[in-house]
Structure formats: C-alpha cells, structure tokens
Structure 1
Amino acid sequence: MRPGEASGRGGRTREAAARPVAGLSEAAEIAITFDDNRLASLVFGQYDQNVAHLERRLDVLATALGNHVVVKGTPDAAERARLVLETLYARVRDGGGMPMTLGDVDGVIQEVSLQGNLFPAAEAPANGERAQFEQIATRRRGAVRARNAAQDAYIKALRANELVFAEGPAGTGKTWLAVGHAVSLLEQGHAERLILSRPAVEAGERLGFLPGDMREKVDPYLRPIYDALYDFMEARHVDRGLQTGMIEIAPLAFMRGRTLTNAVVLLDEAQNTTSMQMKMFLTRLGENSRMIVTGDPSQIDLLPGQKSGLVEAVRILEGVEGIGRVIFKDADVVRHDLVRRIVSAYEADARLTGEQPDSRPAPRRGPLP
C-alpha cells in the first residue's frame, strides 16, 4: 500500500484529500483502487457508461482506468460517489460477476442517498456496515435488489404478508418485482404453481368472439406478464412450466369456482376489476398460497358507474391482519436515463408554452349519441 492510502472494505484501497477543482470553492478528490480488473470493468460498464451516468446523477467528475477510478466534486457528492462505486463492486463480486446496469447505478444512488433516514436505528447492522435494500434472487437473473425505498418496502411486504396490494403508476416495478418474487418462491420450493392473471373484457367474458384457442385469445392481453416471466426464467423452463401446468397464465374470468392451493397468484391491472370480480378473486386463496394484486387507480377503464374492485378492496380490507399495502408515487418510476431526459425536455417545453404535456381530450366512454 502506498503512503497516504487508507485500506477499505470490498477489496480496494482509497485516498481522499481536499483539492481545488475548477468552478468549486472547495472540492474533494477520492481515488479508489479495486483488487480485480475484470470485476471493476463490470462496475464501470461498457465504454464506462456507468461512470458517465454517475457523473451526471451526482454532479461529479470521475475518471476510470483499469481497476482505478478517481472522483472529484464537492465533499458530499464525492463521498456519495465513493459509496455507490463500492456498493456496486460488492454486488458484482458477491453476485457471481453479473454486470451492473444503469438501473443498478440509479438504485444504489437512491439507497446511498436515503441512508440515515430509511432504516430505523434498531435495524442498523451491529458491525457498522451500511444497511442495504432488500433483494430477490432467481436462477436466471441472480440477485435483483430494490432500486428505491418504495421497492424496498414492497419486497418486505411480499415476504411478510399472504396478500399484498401494490398501487401506483406504470414503470415503478409493481408487476416485474411481483413476478420475480413469485418465481423465487417457486424455485425455492415454497410454492408448487404460479398463477398469473389480468382482467380483460375482450379476452374474458366474450372469449368466443375471438379467433383461436384459449391461449391464442388471451396472449395479447397478458403479454406484459409473459415479458416479466421471461426476464426471470429461461425460455425453455417457462415453456415447460406452461405445458405441465406449473405456470398458468389466464384471464380473470377463468378463476371462478376454483380454490388455489400451494400457489403464488398474481392479479395485474386490478384497477379494471369490478367489485364482484375482485371479491371472487380474493376468495380463491387456498392453503399455503399467497396473492399479489397490482394496479394503478388513476388508469381505470371501467364503464361509467362501475366501481373499481381494487379501490373498494383496499378500503374495506385496510388493517386486516396478513394483508399488506404499498403505494408507489410518480417519483418511484424507474426509467431509462434517456427516457428521463426526454420526459424532462417535454416538461420544460410545456412550462414554456403553457400547455400540459398531454393536451388530448379525454376518451369518450359509453354509447355514442
């Protein structure tokens, strides 16, 4: 170890000193050296894209070369960047060499930023290590860790309750994490079946009007669930599971009259269930089963006068033992970095022109006059 360097955890050395940086009255420079060049490259990303993303998000300057990276910025920003890089390196090392993505970087930034007010003092590790967000592990993807506090609360709720309601806008990971949790339980032997469902009027009560067999009729409406499933399982395992009945993907109408035992049951887009459909679904829960209900109450497509089964259920079942509820906000949406910049540009343009980002008239519902 060179003079002036401090030994750190995670197989790396670092040194920190206050140095002037252009444009900053007081800045810090932190140098980190990891002990494995290959693992360091998985942290930095292809063409150092993760490092560049870290620069934009934390407003720092970072230079990576081999297994060495130097971070410059305000003392607080540089320290946060150090914690992010160390956490990413530990995840690559402990996760069997899985490369880090921009989404992983965003998640660790959130995790580091929330330290001190996210985890109660009683939950702080006794060895002084930082507490981390919860994770889901599957054979195909390895460990997938929550990317913000809402996702962390969601994973904890999934583990602690037999029935969980997750509400919030698209892009928050409600369905994706639910499918990942279900696959994890299946692979660990805690469940024998996966049953994934969505309400779809066109593919449910009026199934006979569509061409093809049952699977061909409902596939277009259940495609988002298939996408999440293929993310967490090998395609051949999914296909075999569908053939053997270990994995079942069906419209909500096909749940009537059944008792679902030893299964993980997911109902997606639940805001479009009616009161009767939701009650029917919830009462299908059998022995040693778990249910996950996800939806966005702001995107209800029912006919005028029909109550949303999701909205009614969370009101009626509030406080019932064994039932958890997690509400995601707009700030919890996990977006690709380019998408985030595109949305920001549209919002900035809307402020300049005085128009709403989407000024289309609301769609008409009900029969035409």
Structure 2
Amino acid sequence: MATRRKKPKVTEKILPITESKYKLNFKHFDLTDKQKIFLQKAFDEKTKIMFIAGPAGCSKTFMSVYSALRLFNDDNDLDIFYVRTIVESADRGLGHLPGDVEEKFHPFMMPLTDKMQEILASDQIKMLTEEKIISAAPVNYLRGANWSNKLIIADESQNFTLKELVTLVTRIGKKTKMFICGDPLQSDINGKTGFRTMWQAFNNKESSDEGIHCFEFTKDDIMRSEILKFIVNKIENIPKIKNI
C-alpha cells in the first residue's frame, strides 16, 4: 500500500519591525483648539491639498511646517519641499543678488528656517538640510516637475499669480500633500494674486470630498503678539487695502 506523501510544513516568516531611520524630537508647545482642528485635517490621509488663509501671525506657516515635519516623522519615505515666489515685500527691491539659484533664494527661506527653529533642535534641522530631506525652490522653477512622496509647503501664496498657482497644484502626484498658505491683505503683486481665485474655486463640498480643503485663520487666531491683533484690525478697515 502506497504511503501518502506528507506535505511540507509551511512556516510564516515574520519580518522584524524596523524603526524609521529618522526620528525627530519636537519641542513642546500648547496648541489652540483651532490648531488642533487644523492638524486633524492635515493628518487625514484623504487630505491632498489645504489652502490656508489668514492674517499675519496666525500660524499659517508654522502649522504647515509642523504638520509636514510630523508627517515625515511617521513616514521617512516622504520629503519636504518649500516653495515661494521671489517677490520682495517692499516697494523698492535690493536689485540683482549675486550667486547661483540656491544662494539667491536663501533670503526667501527665512520663514521656513524660523519656524523649524521653533519646532526642532538645531542639530536636527542641520541633519534634515544636509540629507536633502528638506529642500526649496522658487515657484518659477516648477514647470515640468512631478511630485510623488512629497510634502509641499507653498508660502506667501498671495504673491502667486493664478498661472503660478495652477502650475503648483498640477504638479501633485501620488502620496503627496500640499499646504498652500496665503494672506490676501499682504499681496505684493498689485492685484494680480491668484490666491483668492483658487480659494473661491475650491471652497466647496465637492472639493472637500476630493480631499481639497480651505482652512481659514482669523485675527482672533493671531499668536505672534497682542499688539498685532490690534494692528491687523486697523489695517483691515483701511478702504484701499480692503479692496485688494
């Protein structure tokens, strides 16, 4: 009588859980209720783009940078890309700046550097920069880019034209999230801003269902100083500025 051939024993190979290569240590700070709501949107995996509006000092850039760093900390396959225009915020500019593109753009990265210093220790900021986990470029260098596995922070977006904002949002690829920050009261491009137009186009339930959200901070959310709340309130009531 033939004996039945025994089936080989199959054992499941259990792979060890590996820790992320980079683990950031965040400084402690208290968040407002509004900021906590912002983080819920930012961390939602369904969220693809957030348009963030609000006056100076209300934590638009801070919350975007903080969210991006937290998301990177949870998934090291992502990297962070900072975008803004090279429009100066004064009626008279400095003129020609020496150096290559990176050197010319360096002064415009100061808001990113400032926010990172509020959130992380200097050695971790240095590591993120040297490892090219965080990089930056002006908006006019985006044509042809295809962004996957990226966390995009578009700062001072009230200085983007509509064409530049269209170029920005159409770079989005798989596993990419965008934070587009703007303050309509501080546009430096003489009424050519496309930020308000994009806000109006996507501030609806249909866009929200697709993961595109419009999130607004107000002067009540200003964190920089109490006097700034008073200043912004006065500025908002200047007729010429209200009609920008």
1:1-369 equivalences in 2 (<5 Å): 139-142=25-28, 144-147=29-32, 149-160=33-44, 161-189=47-75, 191-201=77-87, 209-304=96-191, 306=192, 308-319=193-204, 320=207, 321-336=210-225, 340=226
Cα distance in 2, alignment partners of residues 359 and 316 from structure 1? 26
The 8 Å contact of residues 222 and 228 in structure 2, kept in 1 or not, is answered as no
The 8 Å contact of residues 153 and 326 in structure 1, kept in 2 or not, is answered as no
Amino acid at match of 1:314: W
Instruction: Give ranges in structure 1 of 5+ residues lacking alignment.
Output: 1-136, 203-207, 348-355, 364-369
Return the offset for 1:281: 0.3
More strand by share: 1
Return the offset for 1:243: 2.8
Query: Aligned-pair RMSD on alpha carbons?
Result: 3.3
| Larger Rg, first or second structure (1 or 2) | 1
Cα distance in 1, alignment partners of residues 229 and 38 from structure 2? 26
The 8 Å contact of residues 198 and 270 in structure 1, kept in 2 or not, is answered as yes
The 8 Å contact of residues 87 and 159 in structure 2, kept in 1 or not, is answered as no
- SS of the aligned residue for 1:326 comes to strand
Instruction: Give ranges in structure 2 of 5+ residues lacking alignment.
Output: 1-22, 89-94
Amino acid at match of 1:229: M
Return the offset for 1:247: 0.8
Cα distance in 2, alignment partners of residues 342 and 316 from structure 1? 30
Cα distance in 2, alignment partners of residues 249 and 222 from structure 1? 8
Cα distance in 2, alignment partners of residues 238 and 323 from structure 1? 29
Cα distance in 2, alignment partners of residues 245 and 283 from structure 1? 23
Cα distance in 2, alignment partners of residues 229 and 216 from structure 1? 19
Aligned residues: 209
Q: Runs in 1 of length 4+ with deviation above 3 angstroms?
A: 341-344, 356-363
Cα distance in 2, alignment partners of residues 138 and 240 from structure 1? 10
Return the offset for 1:358: 11
Cα distance in 1, alignment partners of residues 172 and 236 from structure 2? 40
- SS of the aligned residue for 1:298 comes to helix
Q: Give the equivalent residue in structure 2 for 1:23.
A: none
Q: Give the equivalent residue in structure 2 for 1:13.
A: none
Q: 1:239 to 1:317 in 2, by over 3 A?
A: same
Return the offset for 1:330: 1.0
Cα distance in 1, alignment partners of residues 140 and 124 from structure 2? 26
Cα distance in 2, alignment partners of residues 163 and 222 from structure 1? 21
Output one character per residue of 1:275-309: Cα deviation in whole Å (capped at 9) or x when no partner: 110000001111111100111112111134x2x22
Return the offset for 1:215: 2.4
The 8 Å contact of residues 84 and 154 in structure 2, kept in 1 or not, is answered as yes
- SS of the aligned residue for 2:147 comes to coil
Cα distance in 2, alignment partners of residues 335 and 230 from structure 1? 15
TM-score w.r.t. length of structure 1 = 0.50
Q: 1:288 to 1:314 in 2, by over 3 A?
A: same
| RCO higher in structure (CA 8 A, sep ≥6) | 2
Return the offset for 1:342: 8.6
- SS of the aligned residue for 1:287 comes to coil
Cα distance in 1, alignment partners of residues 41 and 52 from structure 2? 10
Cα distance in 2, alignment partners of residues 257 and 175 from structure 1? 26
Amino acid at match of 1:140: F
What percent identity do the matched residue pairs reach?
A: 25
